[in-house]
């Protein structure tokens, strides 16, 4: 595996993305970190703070909005040198209108978590601009966390048509619950990563859940009651019951996924069954779907239709 010296992180101005940038900057050998953000002012504020905290001027801003593929393509077109690793961190529950359709015909929640990252990787791969590792921020929601109200995503057939219905929202309808949809879109993207690992064996494709992480912005746009439960009540009580850990712990999972070769390409690592925190385990031991190559290919083929 080629040494990782340069890393691009999406959603890098806050939460897990920003903390991952900080931790990576403290590692020997890392020379440049691209902060991929959609807002110039927030990106500049994050860069300035990171330079102060780490004592290193190694952060470069890349403007892109993962819900708008044209901005992703433009950002990649402006790159002039290869990047060793990419952390596909941006995500969440899709804003105030998670089920609204984008210009590409997918829901906002799908665009935020999946489509923009597919476009980013496709563009980088087509220009031979990734040399080592792609890490996708998956979630235990992809195999369900019933204790947190996230049931296991139920695939009826795992066909391309079913994955297409996940992307365009037809599986859930216009009033679909974003907390449940979130698990399906994370599942779809994790399966895509498995297909990519087989298609591009010279690059590592690792799906890594940061776990239940307190203080992140991913659930800021939930309806009021759910937002209060997850961000305020949950932020106090869930850590006591082992259901949330710190942003530092979540970001460290990203860093470990990039640098520890024990995390194998095409695999999905997350917490043990029933929990979003604790020791990492290969999720195929919980749900064999993650290693099913036909389902992986069906997910990938369906989602590529929108890219």
CA distance 216 to 198: 32
pLDDT at 226 over 60: no
CA distance 298 to 223: 32
User: Nearest 5 degrees, angle CA 97-CA 299-CA 223?
Assistant: 20
What is the predicted pLDDT for the residue at 215? 60
Residue 95 banded pLDDT, cuts 50, 70, 90:
confident
- Please name each of the domains of the chain with its CATH number: 6-304 (3.40.50.720)
CA distance 123 to 27: 28
Residues of the chain with pLDDT > 90: what percent?
82
Convert 166-192 to b/e letters by CB count within 10 Å (16 or more is b): bbbbebbeeebbbbbbbbbbbbbbbbb
**pLDDT per residue over 31-41, tens digit each?**
999 999 999 99
The answer for residues whose C-beta is within 8 angstroms of residue 175's C-beta and 6 or more apart is: 99
pTM of the model: 0.92
Burial class (CB in 10 A: 0-12, 13-18, 19+), 268: buried
Mean pLDDT to the nearest integer, 270-299: 96
Mean pLDDT to the nearest integer, 209-216: 82
Asked whether 132 and 203 are in contact (CB, 8 A), the reply is yes
What is the predicted pLDDT for the residue at 244? 83
Mean pLDDT to the nearest integer, 192-211: 98
Q: Considering only residues 280 and 230, tell me which one the structure prediction assigns the higher pLDDT.
A: 280
| DSSP 8-class letter at 106 | S
């Amino acid at each position: 595996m080629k040494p990782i010296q340069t890393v691009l992180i999406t959603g890098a101005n806050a939460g897990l993305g920003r903390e991952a940038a900080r931790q990576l900057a403290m590692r020997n050998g890392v020379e440049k970190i691209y902060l991929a953000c959609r807002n110039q002012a927030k990106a500049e504020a994050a860069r300035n703070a990171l330079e102060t905290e780490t004592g290193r001027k190694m952060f470069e801003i890349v403007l892109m909005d993962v819900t708008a593929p044209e901005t992703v393509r433009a950002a990649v077109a402006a790159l002039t040198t290869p990047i060793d690793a990419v952390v596909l961190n941006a995500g969440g529950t899709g804003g105030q209108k998670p089920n609204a359709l984008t210009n590409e015909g997918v829901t906002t929640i799908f665009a935020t978590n999946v489509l923009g990252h597919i476009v980013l990787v496709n563009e980088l791969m087509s220009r031979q601009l990734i040399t080592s590792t792609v890490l996708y921020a998956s979630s235990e929601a992809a195999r369900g966390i019933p204790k947190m109200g996230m049931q296991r995503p139920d695939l009826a057939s795992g066909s391309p048509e079913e994955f297409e219905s996940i992307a365009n929202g037809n599986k859930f309808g216009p009033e679909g619950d974003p907390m449940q949809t979130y698990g399906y879109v994370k599942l779809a993207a994790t399966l895509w990563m498995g297909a990519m690992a087989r298609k591009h064996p010279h690059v590592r494709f690792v799906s890594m859940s940061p776990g239940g992480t307190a203080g992140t912005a991913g659930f800021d746009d939930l309806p009021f009651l759910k937002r209060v439960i997850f961000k305020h009540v949950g932020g106090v009580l869930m850590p006591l019951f082992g259901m949330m850990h710190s942003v530092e712990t979540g970001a460290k999972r990203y860093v470990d996924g990039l640098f520890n070769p024990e995390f194998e390409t095409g695999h999905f690592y997350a917490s043990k069954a029933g929990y979003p925190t604790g020791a990492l385990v290969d999720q195929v031991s919980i749900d064999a779907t993650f290693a099913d190559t036909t389902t992986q290919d069906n997910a990938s083929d369906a989602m590529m239709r929108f890219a």
